[in-house]
Protein backbone atom coordinates (compact mmCIF):
# COMPACT_ATOMS: atom_id res chain seq x y z
CA UNK A 1 0.00 0.00 0.00
CA UNK A 2 1.17 3.52 -0.88
CA UNK A 3 -0.70 5.82 1.48
CA UNK A 4 -1.08 9.55 0.95
CA UNK A 5 -3.08 12.06 2.91
CA UNK A 6 -4.04 15.57 3.93
CA UNK A 7 -3.45 17.17 7.31
CA UNK A 8 -5.38 20.18 8.58
CA UNK A 9 -7.62 21.25 11.43
CA UNK A 10 -10.97 20.78 9.67
CA UNK A 11 -11.19 18.99 6.33
CA UNK A 12 -14.89 18.68 5.56
CA UNK A 13 -14.52 21.30 2.80
CA UNK A 14 -11.62 19.61 1.02
CA UNK A 15 -11.82 17.96 -2.42
CA UNK A 16 -8.29 16.55 -2.19
CA UNK A 17 -9.35 13.04 -1.20
CA UNK A 18 -11.85 12.88 -4.06
CA UNK A 19 -9.30 14.29 -6.50
CA UNK A 20 -6.60 11.75 -5.70
CA UNK A 21 -8.99 8.81 -5.31
CA UNK A 22 -10.28 9.50 -8.83
CA UNK A 23 -6.69 9.81 -10.05
CA UNK A 24 -5.76 6.43 -8.58
CA UNK A 25 -8.81 4.89 -10.25
CA UNK A 26 -8.07 6.43 -13.64
CA UNK A 27 -4.47 5.16 -13.48
CA UNK A 28 -5.54 1.69 -12.19
CA UNK A 29 -3.44 2.18 -9.05
CA UNK A 30 -5.19 -0.28 -6.75
CA UNK A 31 -2.59 -0.21 -3.97
CA UNK A 32 -2.91 3.55 -3.45
CA UNK A 33 -4.99 5.28 -0.80
CA UNK A 34 -5.57 8.90 0.23
CA UNK A 35 -6.74 9.65 3.78
CA UNK A 36 -7.81 12.73 5.72
CA UNK A 37 -6.11 13.47 9.03
CA UNK A 38 -7.86 16.15 11.08
CA UNK A 39 -5.43 17.40 13.72
CA UNK A 40 -6.62 19.68 16.54
CA UNK A 41 -2.98 20.82 16.80
CA UNK A 42 0.07 20.34 14.60
CA UNK A 43 1.72 18.67 17.59
CA UNK A 44 -0.27 15.54 16.78
CA UNK A 45 1.53 15.02 13.47
CA UNK A 46 4.24 12.72 14.92
CA UNK A 47 1.54 10.38 16.22
CA UNK A 48 -0.03 10.20 12.76
CA UNK A 49 3.33 9.39 11.21
CA UNK A 50 4.01 6.71 13.81
CA UNK A 51 0.59 5.11 13.27
CA UNK A 52 0.92 4.99 9.46
CA UNK A 53 4.31 3.66 8.45
CA UNK A 54 3.10 3.22 4.86
CA UNK A 55 2.70 6.99 4.30
CA UNK A 56 4.67 8.22 1.30
CA UNK A 57 3.26 11.73 0.85
CA UNK A 58 1.19 14.37 2.61
CA UNK A 59 -0.60 17.55 1.66
CA UNK A 60 -0.92 20.32 4.25
CA UNK A 61 -3.76 22.80 4.53
CA UNK A 62 -4.88 25.56 6.90
CA UNK A 63 -3.80 26.41 9.48
CA UNK A 64 -0.60 24.35 9.46
CA UNK A 65 1.30 25.42 6.34
CA UNK A 66 3.74 27.47 8.38
CA UNK A 67 3.88 25.60 11.71
CA UNK A 68 4.52 22.27 9.95
CA UNK A 69 7.90 23.59 8.84
CA UNK A 70 9.40 22.68 12.22
CA UNK A 71 8.33 19.04 11.75
CA UNK A 72 10.15 18.35 8.48
CA UNK A 73 13.81 17.46 8.21
CA UNK A 74 14.59 19.74 5.29
CA UNK A 75 12.99 22.33 3.03
CA UNK A 76 12.99 22.33 -0.75
CA UNK A 77 13.83 25.68 -2.39
CA UNK A 78 10.14 26.27 -3.13
CA UNK A 79 9.22 26.09 0.56
CA UNK A 80 12.16 28.25 1.60
CA UNK A 81 11.22 30.90 -0.95
CA UNK A 82 7.58 31.02 0.14
CA UNK A 83 8.02 30.41 3.85
CA UNK A 84 5.30 27.75 3.94
CA UNK A 85 4.85 24.04 3.21
CA UNK A 86 1.82 22.44 1.58
CA UNK A 87 3.46 19.18 0.41
CA UNK A 88 5.57 16.72 2.38
CA UNK A 89 7.74 14.23 0.55
CA UNK A 90 8.90 11.05 2.31
CA UNK A 91 12.38 10.48 0.90
CA UNK A 92 13.98 7.11 0.25
CA UNK A 93 16.26 7.54 3.26
CA UNK A 94 13.34 8.19 5.61
CA UNK A 95 13.51 11.96 5.81
CA UNK A 96 10.66 14.43 5.47
CA UNK A 97 11.16 17.17 2.87
CA UNK A 98 8.80 20.13 2.74
CA UNK A 99 7.78 21.64 -0.61
CA UNK A 100 5.44 24.39 -1.75
CA UNK A 101 3.32 23.79 -4.84
CA UNK A 102 0.72 26.47 -4.01
CA UNK A 103 2.94 29.10 -5.60
CA UNK A 104 3.22 27.42 -8.99
CA UNK A 105 -0.44 26.38 -8.86
CA UNK A 106 -1.64 29.92 -8.28
CA UNK A 107 0.81 31.46 -10.74
CA UNK A 108 -0.17 29.17 -13.60
CA UNK A 109 -3.88 29.50 -12.85
CA UNK A 110 -3.68 33.29 -12.68
CA UNK A 111 -2.07 33.32 -16.13
CA UNK A 112 -5.29 31.92 -17.59
CA UNK A 113 -7.45 34.51 -15.80
CA UNK A 114 -5.66 37.85 -15.44
CA UNK A 115 -4.46 38.23 -18.99
CA UNK A 116 -3.05 40.16 -20.65
CA UNK A 117 -1.54 41.74 -17.54
CA UNK A 118 -1.88 45.53 -17.77
CA UNK A 119 1.36 47.46 -17.50
CA UNK A 120 0.00 49.30 -14.46
CA UNK A 121 -1.43 46.20 -12.77
CA UNK A 122 -1.39 46.15 -8.98
CA UNK A 123 -2.85 43.59 -6.58
CA UNK A 124 -4.26 43.26 -3.09
CA UNK A 125 -3.67 39.95 -1.31
CA UNK A 126 -6.17 39.36 1.48
CA UNK A 127 -4.56 37.37 4.28
CA UNK A 128 -1.07 36.78 5.63
CA UNK A 129 -0.97 33.01 6.18
CA UNK A 130 0.81 30.31 4.23
CA UNK A 131 -1.47 30.54 1.19
CA UNK A 132 -1.10 34.32 1.08
CA UNK A 133 2.67 33.96 1.17
CA UNK A 134 2.56 31.66 -1.86
CA UNK A 135 0.36 34.15 -3.71
CA UNK A 136 2.76 36.97 -2.87
CA UNK A 137 5.75 35.08 -4.27
CA UNK A 138 3.82 34.20 -7.45
CA UNK A 139 2.90 37.86 -7.96
CA UNK A 140 6.55 38.83 -7.53
CA UNK A 141 7.52 36.28 -10.16
CA UNK A 142 4.92 37.77 -12.51
CA UNK A 143 6.11 41.30 -11.83
CA UNK A 144 2.82 42.46 -10.27
CA UNK A 145 3.29 44.84 -7.31
CA UNK A 146 1.00 44.07 -4.40
CA UNK A 147 -0.04 44.87 -0.85
CA UNK A 148 -1.00 42.27 1.71
CA UNK A 149 -4.11 43.03 3.75
CA UNK A 150 -5.00 41.78 7.24
CA UNK A 151 -6.87 42.76 10.36
CA UNK A 152 -3.59 43.36 12.24
CA UNK A 153 -2.93 47.10 12.66
CA UNK A 154 0.65 46.26 13.62
CA UNK A 155 1.34 44.24 10.47
CA UNK A 156 3.63 45.28 7.64
CA UNK A 157 0.85 45.65 5.06
CA UNK A 158 -2.56 47.26 4.96
CA UNK A 159 -5.60 46.71 7.15
CA UNK A 160 -9.13 46.36 5.87
CA UNK A 161 -9.83 49.85 7.23
CA UNK A 162 -7.27 51.16 4.74
CA UNK A 163 -9.22 49.86 1.75
CA UNK A 164 -10.86 53.03 0.51
CA UNK A 165 -12.73 53.19 -2.82
CA UNK A 166 -9.74 55.12 -4.22
CA UNK A 167 -7.30 52.39 -3.17
CA UNK A 168 -9.48 49.66 -4.66
CA UNK A 169 -9.70 51.59 -7.90
CA UNK A 170 -5.90 51.53 -8.12
CA UNK A 171 -5.69 47.74 -7.66
CA UNK A 172 -7.35 45.71 -10.42
CA UNK A 173 -6.54 42.29 -8.98
CA UNK A 174 -7.83 41.22 -5.56
CA UNK A 175 -6.93 37.77 -4.24
CA UNK A 176 -8.73 36.22 -1.28
CA UNK A 177 -6.13 34.04 0.43
CA UNK A 178 -8.15 33.73 3.64
CA UNK A 179 -10.54 30.87 4.46
CA UNK A 180 -13.48 33.29 4.71
CA UNK A 181 -16.45 31.90 2.79
CA UNK A 182 -15.33 28.27 2.90
CA UNK A 183 -18.07 25.67 3.36
CA UNK A 184 -19.95 25.44 5.68
CA UNK A 185 -19.52 29.14 6.62
CA UNK A 186 -20.60 30.33 3.19
CA UNK A 187 -22.18 33.55 4.47
CA UNK A 188 -18.77 35.08 5.26
CA UNK A 189 -16.56 37.22 3.06
CA UNK A 190 -13.65 39.64 3.46
CA UNK A 191 -14.80 43.11 4.60
CA UNK A 192 -14.26 45.15 1.43
CA UNK A 193 -16.10 48.20 0.08
CA UNK A 194 -17.58 46.04 -2.67
CA UNK A 195 -19.58 48.96 -4.05
CA UNK A 196 -16.24 50.42 -5.21
CA UNK A 197 -15.59 47.48 -7.55
CA UNK A 198 -16.13 47.75 -11.29
CA UNK A 199 -15.78 45.82 -14.52
CA UNK A 200 -12.05 46.62 -14.43
CA UNK A 201 -11.54 44.38 -11.39
CA UNK A 202 -10.50 40.74 -11.24
CA UNK A 203 -11.35 38.81 -8.07
CA UNK A 204 -9.57 35.51 -7.50
CA UNK A 205 -10.71 33.42 -4.53
CA UNK A 206 -8.46 30.57 -3.40
CA UNK A 207 -11.56 29.00 -1.84
CA UNK A 208 -13.15 26.40 -4.15
CA UNK A 209 -15.93 25.02 -1.96
CA UNK A 210 -18.49 26.49 -2.63
CA UNK A 211 -17.78 27.07 -6.31
CA UNK A 212 -19.06 30.63 -6.01
CA UNK A 213 -18.23 32.31 -2.71
CA UNK A 214 -19.90 35.42 -1.35
CA UNK A 215 -16.68 37.30 -2.20
CA UNK A 216 -17.10 36.23 -5.82
CA UNK A 217 -20.85 36.90 -5.91
CA UNK A 218 -20.37 40.46 -4.64
CA UNK A 219 -17.66 40.98 -7.26
CA UNK A 220 -19.94 39.74 -10.05
CA UNK A 221 -22.70 42.08 -8.91
CA UNK A 222 -20.28 44.97 -9.46
CA UNK A 223 -19.29 43.71 -12.91
CA UNK A 224 -15.91 42.24 -11.92
CA UNK A 225 -14.39 39.08 -13.42
CA UNK A 226 -14.22 36.28 -10.82
CA UNK A 227 -12.49 32.92 -10.46
CA UNK A 228 -12.38 30.32 -7.69
CA UNK A 229 -9.45 28.20 -6.56
CA UNK A 230 -10.38 24.85 -8.09
CA UNK A 231 -7.91 25.13 -10.97
CA UNK A 232 -5.19 26.09 -8.51
CA UNK A 233 -6.09 23.03 -6.41
CA UNK A 234 -5.69 20.77 -9.44
CA UNK A 235 -2.42 22.36 -10.55
CA UNK A 236 -0.81 22.21 -7.11
CA UNK A 237 -2.05 18.63 -6.67
CA UNK A 238 -0.45 17.54 -9.95
CA UNK A 239 2.80 19.23 -8.90
CA UNK A 240 2.62 17.32 -5.61
CA UNK A 241 2.04 14.05 -7.49
CA UNK A 242 5.14 14.71 -9.58
CA UNK A 243 7.18 15.25 -6.40
CA UNK A 244 5.92 12.05 -4.80
CA UNK A 245 6.70 10.03 -7.92
CA UNK A 246 10.01 11.59 -9.00
The model carries a pTM of 0.95
Model pLDDT, residue 156:
77
Whether 218 is a known active-site residue: answer no
Q: Which CATH number fits domain 2-100: 3.40.50.10860, 3.30.200.20, 1.10.8.190, 3.20.20.10?
A: 3.40.50.10860
User: Which residues, 6+ apart, have CB-to-CB distance to 68 below 8 Å?
Assistant: 7, 42, 45, 60, 85, 88, 98
Measured between alpha carbons, how far is 190 from 206 in angstroms, rounded to an integer? Answer: 13
* Residues 211, 14: Cα–Cα separation, whole Å: 12
| Residue from 65, 133, 218, 227 carrying the catalytic annotation | 65
**Could you tell me which CATH class the domain 103-231 is placed in?**
alpha beta
Pairing outcome for strands 96-99 and 87-90: antiparallel
Domain ranges within the chain, ordered by starting residue: 2-100, 103-231
Digits of tens for pLDDT over the chain (246 positions)? 999 999 999 999 999 999 999 999 999 999 999 999 999 999 999 999 999 999 999 999 999 999 999 999 999 999 999 999 999 999 999 999 999 999 999 999 999 999 999 999 999 999 999 999 999 999 999 999 999 999 988 777 999 999 999 999 999 999 999 999 999 999 999 999 999 999 999 999 999 999 999 999 999 999 999 999 999 999 999 999 999 999
Amino acid sequence: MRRFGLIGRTLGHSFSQTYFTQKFYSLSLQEHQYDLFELPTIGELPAVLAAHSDLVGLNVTVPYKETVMTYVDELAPSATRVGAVNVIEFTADGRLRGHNTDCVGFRNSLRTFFTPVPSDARALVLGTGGAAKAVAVALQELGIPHWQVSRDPLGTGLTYNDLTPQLLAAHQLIVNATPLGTFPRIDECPPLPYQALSERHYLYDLVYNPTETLFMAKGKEAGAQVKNGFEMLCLQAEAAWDIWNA
